[in-house]
Structure 1
């Protein structure tokens, strides 16, 4: 089972590991509640080096992708990024990803469990286009929380980025790194992409400087709780090839209605005109302490009207919270429903997403 390049370092910091797909990753560092509080109140760092970034190069890279993705790449400025989906002809989501415009390439951040399938799908359309997609040997460190920016400025100087989906490149002790501001926890998140040979040095520098800021390492279990509180859908969990972007609440961020044709565009335009989808991703708060599993059913009376995609015990609400798809007739915050957990019905209430709202 593959491990992270800094596996030994994480062991030394008290990590407890668990299998996540084919990887062995830090689940936590002994105290998930303290990890959670650090990210929400101070600053935390997570090693996400199992997530492979991709560089897309070649003279046709922009027009090639512009013809395939749901957002308008032609409007993107250098140093900025956008979120987009790759759809089937019927408007279902094959992949979702972030694209960042470099001077000589596009940088793609895609859900790691769906990465190779995404690359394969894109290359199916290559034909005579001059493009190349490769994964550079970089690690990825997430620095998250209200003290994330002060910590990074103590290390690298003033950060020349303020907006979400913006980035810059800098050098630290001879190590080139790229810093992207993009929230996955609902708070202030910075992703440091670092060549593998410099990864340990940057991790050490973070923790050498991070003591005064309250820096704490955090693992996958805390990251998942933060993600669900933030209402951030994730491919393979909340999104797959059966979901239309609008059903998952991706419309505002991922869909352009003015860019012209791409696979699935007619479906998006039809929904915009007639305003109807069969289901909607919503939050739920559930009574009791038992967590529902993925695909557990949501009922109102005897009618099955949805299913759970993911759940966690939320320190924010003090309750079990979940994300799930529900039919339009119950997609209103405050609607009383039941969730079937281990063959027993638990009272629940439909909630708006996100649960966590910064500020």
Structure 2
């Protein structure tokens, strides 16, 4: 049995009484107090997440932008230094290897952050695609820690954190999907205004040795503002409300971007990229597409539950990929892949919840949008 990895913050999580779970080969905090309390804290104040299990790849060289244009589905070359972009790593077939965020650090240097469970797959894909490109790849995952502060009070928390200095652009001037550099206790600090909760927030990348001190400083600064440590359970219900996909649920090698509502991410006008030919060959008129489902009552559909036609009750039309009783909205929500014929907003369907048919209505994603 493979031993689970732990982050540089593991002892801090133990001291806070966290419960742990296996996530992508890492032993990660699933909750500290209660899922609901942590979820509501992020929606109303702020939550502190250890996301150090995420993978970080540096891509550098005279042809770094051209390489990423080929290796990823999106167009990287037009990005300005200081900006970030959501993109996809596709297989030759057009299926999704992973979804990533790309940061342009300099004209010829980029940072790519991938999902923990796909570190090896993304690393292998990048290495296989280097070919004749003048580029160097480095995996910095083992030496770095990533901490997220998410919620309406997130900016106030990071601005009040002792030890953070020289952040430019300043937190207040940093736009969404942009990044700043600074320092923490003399160590380099990378700050991105990105997140996975549907709220405003920041993700802070630092070398492992200073991560525990940064965690402590953020908790101290945030306590008067309502910040609490939050685990993966709250992170999952937050991202579900925000309609954000999770690899292995809404994304996989068997799903092409358009099915998951991510067709806009693919720069089809690029001369070439891995997966372009595969996407062109996909001709499935009734391929399942991702939709939102809302229900009344308290019984929520879960991943793997079948979805049925409302008029022909024995006809399955799809399957739930993620579902929960929404803490913010107070009713069950789910994402599901259903046949295109059953995907129009307002379509009435049924979810099979442990043998009971629960009425569900197709709705646009996301379920929740924060007030700007």
TM-score between both structures, scaled by the size of structure 1? 0.92
Match of 1:228 among 231, 234, 240: 240
Contact 2:302 2:334 in 1 (8 A): no
Matches for 1:77-96 after TM superposition, within 5 Å: 77-96=80-99
- Give the match for residue 110 of structure 1: 114
CA RMSD of aligned residues (A): 2.2
Matches for 1:261-300 after TM superposition, within 5 Å: 261-265=272-276, 278-300=287-309
Note the alpha carbon deviations across 1:199-241, whole angstroms, 9 max, x for none.
0111111111112211111000000000100000122221001
Specify the SS of the correspondent of 1:25. strand
Specify the SS of the correspondent of 1:102. strand
Query: Using the alignment, how far apart are the partners of 2:204 and 2:187 within structure 1?
Result: 12
Cα offset for 1:276? Answer: 6.0
- Give the match for residue 101 of structure 1: 104
Note the alpha carbon deviations across 1:164-221, whole angstroms, 9 max, x for none.
2210110122121101111311111211011001101111111111122111110000
- Give the match for residue 153 of structure 1: 159
**Could you tell which deviates more after superposition, 7-16 or 141-150?**
7-16
Query: Using the alignment, how far apart are the partners of 1:205 and 1:306 within structure 2?
Result: 47
- Give the match for residue 26 of structure 1: 29
Note the alpha carbon deviations across 1:88-139, whole angstroms, 9 max, x for none.
3442222221111112521001111112111102211223333332222110
How many corresponding residue pairs?
Answer: 356
1:16 aligns with 2:19: yes
Contact 1:308 1:322 in 2 (8 A): yes
**Could you tell which deviates more after superposition, 146-155 or 199-208?**
146-155
Matches for 1:248-327 after TM superposition, within 5 Å: 248-252=260-264, 254-265=265-276, 278-300=287-309, 301-327=313-339
Where in structure 1 are there 5+ consecutive unaligned residues? none
**Could you tell which deviates more after superposition, 21-30 or 143-152?**
21-30
Cα offset for 1:280? Answer: 1.7
Query: Using the alignment, how far apart are the partners of 1:57 and 1:68 within structure 2?
Result: 14
Contact 1:278 1:328 in 2 (8 A): yes
Go from structure 1 to structure 2 and tell me whether the alpha carbon gap of 1:263 and 1:177 turns closer, same or farther (over 3 Å shift): same
Cα offset for 1:259? Answer: 2.9
Cα offset for 1:247? Answer: 1.2
Match of 1:49 among 43, 46, 52: 52
Note the alpha carbon deviations across 1:46-79, whole angstroms, 9 max, x for none.
1111112111123332212212322111101111
